[in-house]
Chains A and B, each alone.
Chain A
Amino acid sequence: MKIIKVIGLYSPFGDDQCGYYAIEALKESIGDQEGVSIEALDRPGITLIEAIKGYDIVILIDAVISNKECGYITRLENANISSITQKLSSHQVGLIETIKIAESLNMLPKKLIFYGIEVKHIQYNQSFSDNVRKGISELVIILKNEITEILKYGDANAIHH
């Protein structure tokens, strides 16, 4: 039974690791739950489409820079996700383009939710900001509630109306 997939997107650099740590914290918080799959993906590019295949609801977590305070959590849903402007990379197909391609292929889930954790910049080392860590703690509480509501009522709209 594939209902919800939560994916933390990350790279191994600085605060861009937040997607990975969010997933680790979420796994510890909710454990194994039927119908819920939780995974961290290191720069999946276009192969993200295969990772979300077949799920009703997909929740993506990633670092964002949007001039808010460090650790701030932004939630976007479906069409609003394309409001994210992404730095162009010449090495991979980026997240927004991947979502557009998934839409063209009719491979988007019924509901796509994006949680951005605000970071200030990406450091090319293993450091990790305390404020981002605090943001992850808040996000895990939000996600635990959201997942519970989805499994209970069948729709993320139950708590986000």
Chain B
Amino acid sequence: MKKNNEIKINVPVLARVEGDGALEILIKNNEIKNIKLKIFEPPRLFEKFLEGRSYTDIIDIVARICGICPVAYQMSAAHSIENAFQTKPGPWVREMRRLFYCGEWLESHSMHIHFLALPDFLGFKVISEMAKKYQAEVKRGIRLQTYGNDLIKLFGARSVNPVGACVGGFYKAPAYHTVEALLKIAKERLKDAEELIEWLSELSLPDNSGDFTCVSLYHPKEYPFNEGIIVSDKGLNISIDEYENYFTEFQVPYSNALHSKLNDSSYLVGPLSRVNNCFEHLPSSLHHLLQTLKIHFPNKNMHHSILARAIEIYFSVAESIRIMQAYYLPDASYVDHKIQSGVGYGCTEAPRGLLWQKYHFDHEGKVTYSKIVPPTSQNQARIEEDLFYSLKAFGLDKNENDIRHFSEMIIRNYDPCISCSTHFLDLRIIHENN
């Protein structure tokens, strides 16, 4: 609808992301003056109503922040509580938490690649149409996602808001025969994961390479899930309890979500950052595969996030095999803990990136303060920056449908998790000309 020199475009639904959001672009004299990405952020409410609750409630409550990445919230919370209570869960729990996380990465990344991102790159508006043409590929994606769900169910009894994790470990150790059965499936899924990378490497993905800061956990011995220091590819190297000294959150007037900056600049968290920062810790079989396919990292092309996710799918399958091959029944599935007052920090790698949590506890183990920083809010500033440069390169003289579709594709590269929102994406482009 044109009125004078003003053009308004409404996108009622931002399709194929978790949750809903709104985007507003102000263009003046054919230049982008302003981009506002509006995301509703549920953790802000959770932080407040956790206050006064016992530490025993935290793990199950924070799992409800997101239906797609509950394991991540539970793991960051468990580590925070154990940090405050100075509890060391031991090697069995450590390995099982990695296996638990393998399940979540598999399930989340498979869902994103096959049902959220690929329709963009292959030119389909409806997934069922894509499934007709790419039957083998979609079936493979469903197999991988199902395997991820099965790993989560192994510990959590169900894949949606699993209930098996607790402070110190898990309520129950999986039976040996159940692990054996899953191990057999895992070995079949490794071939699927390899073929997924091979297939994606043949797609013509656009290039919007730019200079941005990649932030992730880093561990000296392994590809990170639950433990490590926080690093960037621009020299950051800090322990997780120093997070607030370097990362600042601030309110923007147009969004319920807080934005995050690192030394006053935007930054990226998520699979592309992890692969860029921790490439050396991927298994050698994966290095060999990528070398054969001429896929190189570090990589600053956000459209290659889909490739980074496929790489992490392969890693998760391989890692799950490693852990299950060495599985044994422990004497106890969790360690005891002693409640004490204090502050605890937890930082783990959710499928979408760094998930940082902090809790203050009183002497009864009740929460007096909590802070939860999810990956999608950390990526907001980076998404807006990406939209600015990418739209400029794309051309602002394109028709409104094309601009809308392109904007959605840019946003989807970040696999934003905008859970629990009740609003639809409303894309508004305002043109102001002299």
Binding site for B on A (CB under 8 A): 11, 42-47, 49-50, 90-93, 97, 100-101, 103-107
Residues of B contacting A104 with CB < 8 Å? Answer: 128-129, 131-132, 135, 138
Say yes or no: A90 contacts B18, CB within 8 Å.
Answer: yes
Instruction: Write the nearest CB–CB distance from A109 to chain B, whole angstroms.
Output: 16
CB pair A46–B142 under 8 Å, yes or no, is yes
Q: Give complex CA distance A90, B418 in Å.
A: 9
Please list the 3 inter-chain residue pairs (A to B) with the smallest Cβ-Cβ separation, ordered nearest first. Answer: A104-B131, A100-B128, A91-B67
Which of A43, A45, A105 contacts B135, CB < 8 Å? A105
Inter-subunit contact B142/A47 (CB<8 Å): yes
Q: Determine whether the beta carbon of B115 is less than 8 Å from that of A90.
A: no
Known: A91-B18, A101-B138, A107-B139. A46 touches B115 (CB 8 A): yes
Interface centre among B131, B142, B159 (most CB of A within 10 A): B142
Q: How far is the CA of A44 from the CA of B159 in the complex (A)?
A: 8
A152 to B234, CA, bound (A): 70
Cβ contact within 8 Å between A105 and B149: no
CB <8 Å contact, B419 and A103: no
On whether the beta carbons of B138 and A105 are closer than 8 Å, the reply is: yes
Q: Which one, B20, B128, B139, B418, contacts A103 given CB within 8 A?
A: B128
Q: A91-B68, A105-B135 are in contact. List 9 more A-B contacts (CB 8 A).
A: A44-B149, A46-B115, A47-B145, A90-B421, A91-B18, A91-B419, A93-B115, A101-B127, A104-B131
Total A-B Cβ pairs within 8 A: 55
- A105 and B139 contacting across the interface, CB-CB below 8 Å: yes
A49 to B131, CA, bound (A): 13
Is B158 engaged at the interface, CB distance under 8 Å to the other chain? yes
Which chain B residues lie closer than 8 Å to A46 at the CB level? 111, 115, 142, 145
Chain B residue nearest in CB terms to A107: B139
B160 touches A42 (CB 8 A): yes
Question: In whole angstroms, what is the CA distance A108 to B201 when docked?
Answer: 31
Q: Which residues of B contact A49 (CB under 8 A)?
A: 142
